[in-house]
Amino acid sequence: MTAAANTKTTATTTYHDDLEIVRQELDKCMKCGNCMAVCPVYSIDKVESAVTRSKIAVADAVLTGELSLDDPQVYHMVFNCLVCKSCMTNCPTKVNFDRIVLALRAALVRKNGLPWLKKMIFSTLKHPKLFDTGMKVGAAMQGLVFRTDKTKKAISPRSPFASLGEGFGFDADRQMPELTVTPLRDRVPDVIKVDKPALKVSFFTGDSLNYFYPDAGQDLIEVLTANNIEVHIPKDQSCCGVPVLVHGDIDTVRTLARNNIDAFDKTGSDYLITGCGSCGGAWKHDYVELLAADPVYGLKAKHWAERTYDISTFLTKVISFRKPMGEVRSVVTYHDSCHLKKSMKVFAEPREILKSIPGVTFKEMSAPDTCCGSGGSYVVSHYETASGIGKRKAEDINKTGADTVSVGCPACMMQLLDNINRFGNAQKTRHYISLLAESYRKEKGK
């Protein structure tokens, strides 16, 4: 049986399926307000409904029937959150707020279904081939709507579209990464062999590295092979599902999870490597949680969760990566992506890698782990708040005097690209793995 065929079969025992299950999480909140200090949405909106504890109070009111999920304000509140988990790291009683907000979103979708646009996009995600074709068509057509800044590989809306998009942040200044004509997985073979490999790993590319930052994806592969690692890139992998998960479409994310597990089971590799905090978090935590009640895939999800590593952790903790020798003259600062730091607890490793590169001067920005405001589609649905948050990030980056801001998550790279364009000093935004790859390349005088 294919994964797609058994979408709705599993028992309904997670908070994704039953809002009641989060009640005990709600009770943990003592309304102390510590979350206010770190919630990026509150820092801009300055209203209680933006603060975690209020979202908890509203969830409580929904459970007691005082408020209804159909209330448009409740709907708005439930989606006015980046699911960045900053509040969770500052919460004295360890309320797992991500569960609360995801449970609410899933309950909303169960009750009212998905809005048509989301439904359309998410259903194509379930059919990776169709989605892939769509992205390629999009890449071919983007020139009609967008103009390209060749040096940055960035695109901005052309004038008629720019004036339509004003107010939604799709104005003429809005920079987005170019959608690639040849995605990563079309650029490389399924298996990239090396002589006498030390290890065999599988690379989960995720959509962003595949379609938006394929060069960074190639850099990641190059770094692995430079460390004598054989790399498998299963062609039939699909989106990790996090963008869908955060919109409450649990059926689709379960389908994607099973698809991906099938694709990686076939490789039989020792490790699963990611280059994106969201993808890594999906494999390490979300799949296990979502498939807990599935007798077959539940176990498989656990198997992979134990073998999933962000590329930086893999390089520093699993193998001892070869110290790079080529000089990369650059002043670099590092932005801690929420999903990497707060979900995967990865923060020391990328810094260790950056500091190992000859020529790199590392400058820490103040509060490097405050959210950049991306939150996947949050930046589209709440452009104003997101760009308030992004502006602050850009200012922190400016203060370091760095010429490059390095990140470990493509979604943050997109947000930083736009905000540096608006508020920054023309700094480059690069995945830390690209800097390492560049150093390895320079060794060979390339």
Partner 1 sequence: MLDRSIIEKLEALVGKENVLTSKMDLVAYSYDATADVPRQAPDVVVLPTTSEMVQEIVNLARANKIAIYPRGSGTNLSGGTIPLKKGIVLSMQRMNKILDVDAANLTAVVQPGVVIAALNSAVAPFGLIYPPDPGTVTTASMGGSCAENSGGLRGLKYGVTKNYIMGLEVVLANGEKVRFGGKTVKNVTAYDFSNLFVGSEGTLGIITEITAKLIPAPKYRRSMMGIFKTLQDAGNAVAGIIAAQVIPATLEIMDQMTIRTVEDFANIGLPTDAKALLLIEVDGMSQDVVTAEAEAVMNVVKTNNGDLHTADTDQERDQLWTARRNALPALASLNNTVVLEDATVPRSRITDMLVACENIGKKYNLTLGTFGHAGDGNLHPTILCDKYNKEEISRVHKAVDEIFEAALGFGGTLSGEHGIGIAKMKYLGNELGQSGLNLMRSMKEALDPEYLLNPGKMVPLKEV
Given a contact cutoff of 8 angstroms between Cβ atoms, the answer to whether 304 and 287 are in contact is yes
Q: Which stretch binds partner 1 (CB under 8 A): 5-13, 57-65, 267-275, 300-308?
A: 57-65
Piece of 66-74, 137-145, 257-265, 342-350 that binds partner 1 (CB under 8 A): 66-74
Q: How far is the CB of 366 from ligand SF4 (least distance, A)?
A: 18
Q: Which parts of 146-249 fold into alpha helices (H)?
A: 159-165, 184-187, 206-207, 214-226, 242-245
CB of 65 to ligand SF4, least distance (A): 22
Residue 292 one-letter amino acid: A
Please name the residues in contact with 408: beta carbons below 8 A apart, sequence gap of 6 or more: 275, 276, 277, 310, 312, 337, 340, 346, 350, 431, 432, 433
State yes or no: residue 111 binds partner 1 (CB under 8 A). Answer: no
Distance from C-alpha of 417 to C-alpha of 185, rounded to nearest angstrom? 24
Contact residue for ligand SF4 among 11, 13, 20, 31 (CB under 6 A): 31
Instruction: Tell me which residue of 332, 351, 326 sits closest to 341, measured CA to CA.
Output: 351
Rule CB under 8 A: say whether 74 interacts with partner 1: yes
Side-chain-side CA neighbours of residue 197 (13 Å): 15
Integer CA distances (angstroms), 111 to 79, 97, 115, 150, in order: 15, 21, 12, 46
Question: Which CB, 75 or 161, lies closer to ligand SF4?
Answer: 75
Tell me whether residue 47 or residue 380 sits nearer to partner 1 (CB atom): 47
Binding-site member from 44, 59, 84, 413 for ligand SF4 (CB under 6 A)? 84
Residue 106 Cβ, how far from ligand SF4 at the closest point, in Å? 16
CB burial of residue 150 (10 Å; 0-12, 13-18, 19+): exposed
DSSP H stretches of helix in 291-359? 297-307, 311-313, 338, 348-355
40 binds ligand SF4 (CB under 6 A): yes
* Residue carrying structure tokens 């987005």: 176
The option from partner 1, ligand SF4, none interacting with 84 (CB < 5 to 8 A, set by class) reads ligand SF4
| Cα separation of the two ends of the chain | 48
Count of Cβ atoms closer than 10 Å to residue 215 Cβ: 17
For residue 22 the two structure tokens come to: 């989060």
- Least distance CB 243 / partner 1 (angstroms): 25
When binding is defined by CB under 6 A, the residue of 73, 93, 148, 425 that contacts ligand SF4 is: 93
Contact between 36 and partner 1 by CB under 8 A: the answer reads yes
Contact stretch for partner 1 (CB under 8 A) within 69-77, 183-191, 213-221, 342-350: 69-77
- List the one residue from 97, 212, 314, 383 that touches ligand SF4 (CB under 6 A): 97
Provide the 10 A C-beta neighbour count for residue 93. 10
User: Token digits for 127?
Assistant: 């059919």
- Of 73 and 425, which CB lies nearer to partner 1 in the complex structure? 73
For residue 43, the minimal CB distance to ligand SF4 (Å) is 9
- Among ligand SF4, partner 1, none, what binds residue 367 when CB lies within 5 to 8 Å by partner kind? none
With CB cut-offs between 5 and 8 Å by kind, which of partner 1, ligand SF4, none does residue 401 bind? Answer: none
292 near partner 1 (CB under 8 A): no
- State yes or no: residue 325 binds ligand SF4 (CB under 6 A): no
The C-alpha atoms of residue 130 and residue 151 are separated, in whole angstroms, by 31
Quote the DSSP letter at residue 179: P
28 binding partner 1? (CB under 8 A) = yes
73 binds partner 1 (CB under 8 A): yes
- Minimum CB separation from ligand SF4 for residue 91, in Å? 3
H helix or E strand, kind and range, residue 147: strand 146-149
Q: From 44-52, 288-296, 340-348, 427-435, give the range in contact with partner 1 by CB under 8 A.
A: 44-52
Closest CA to 224 of 268, 262, 279, 275: 275
**Residue 385 — φ and ψ, nearest 5°?**
-65, -45
> Helices 410-423 & 383-400, crossing angle to 10 degrees?
80
Instruction: Give yes or no for residue 348 binding partner 1 (CB under 8 A).
Output: no
Residues 42-81 that bind ligand SF4 (CB under 6 A): 52-53, 55-56, 81
Given a contact cutoff of 8 angstroms between Cβ atoms, the answer to whether 161 and 155 are in contact is: no
Q: What is the CA radius of gyration of the chain?
A: 21
Only segment of 50-58, 315-323, 354-362, 406-414 that touches partner 1 (CB under 8 A): 50-58
Interacting span for partner 1 (CB under 8 A) from 64-72, 123-131, 140-148, 196-204: 64-72
Q: Are 311 and 321 in contact (CB under 8 A)?
A: no
Interface residue list for partner 1 (CB under 8 A): 27-28, 30-34, 36-37, 46-49, 51, 54, 57-58, 61, 66-67, 71, 73-74, 76-77, 92-94
Interface residue list for ligand SF4 (CB under 6 A): 29-35, 38-41, 52-53, 55-56, 81-87, 91, 93, 95, 97
